[in-house]
Amino acid sequence: MSKYLSSYRYGLETVYYLNKEGRDQVGCEVIRKKTPQVQHYLLRNQLWIYLKRPKSWQNEVKVEGAEHSIICDAQFEKKGVPVFVEVDVSQAMAVNKRKIEKYRQIQLMTGEPFYLLWVTEIEGRKPKLESYMNGMLGYVYSIGEIK
């Protein structure tokens, strides 16, 4: 397999991706390279595994209301109800608060129920995110809970 894969270390993790020969072998046109967003992607993937790999999971989905829209880090359905996922690695808390308010506005405009899940790498941010979500359906996970 090493003939078709490239890899690099990120902390204790090894990140693998298809090299040119691997992409040619499987007919893949998407080029993946080392990225500074790897921490974000790994945390999102860890949540996907923790949630027992929901089949309807999609990354980077646009969520729209009449006047507001946002691109969530992932979306899936649980018993027919949309679940939107946001990953917090090092984003400013003011940005996270604005995102939550956008979701709140979208929910008010559409009148449709949905869940909002957050996963944060920084344990101390969990209570703050929970307070921002006050009254919304959802949950905030810390990295320690899902690993």
Same domain, residue pair 53 and 12:
no
Looking at residue 65, its pLDDT comes to 81
Residue 10 predicted with pLDDT over 90: no
Counted domains in the chain: 2
Looking at residue 122, its pLDDT comes to 92
Same domain, residue pair 50 and 117:
yes
Closest CA to 116 of 140, 89, 143, 146: 140
CATH of the domain at 79: 3.40.1350.10
Ramachandran angles phi, psi of 4, nearest 5°: -105, -5
Same domain, residue pair 18 and 60:
no
Residue 123 predicted with pLDDT over 80: yes
Do 54 and 47 meet the contact criterion of CB atoms below 8 Å apart?
Answer: no
Share of the chain above pLDDT 70, in %: 100
Quickly count: other Cβ atoms within 10 Å of residue 144's Cβ.
9
Same domain, residue pair 121 and 59:
yes
**Strand-strand pairing, 58-64 and 13-18:** unpaired
Same domain, residue pair 85 and 19:
no
State how far the Cα of 71 lies from the Cα of 105, in Å rounded to an integer.
14
Confidence tier at 29 by pLDDT (50, 70, 90): very high
Domain range for 64 is: 38-146
**Burial category of 54 from C-beta neighbours within 10 Å (exposed 0-12, middle 13-18, buried 19 and up):** middle
Q: What is the pTM of this model?
A: 0.87
Same domain, residue pair 23 and 66:
no
Looking at residue 57, its pLDDT comes to 98
For range 71-100, the mean pLDDT: 96
| Ramachandran quadrant class, 40 (left: phi over 0; alpha: psi -120 to 50; beta: rest) | alpha
Residue 66 predicted with pLDDT over 80: no
Question: Who contacts 39 (Cβ-Cβ below 8 Å, separation ≥6)?
Answer: 10, 89, 121
Looking at residue 53, its pLDDT comes to 98
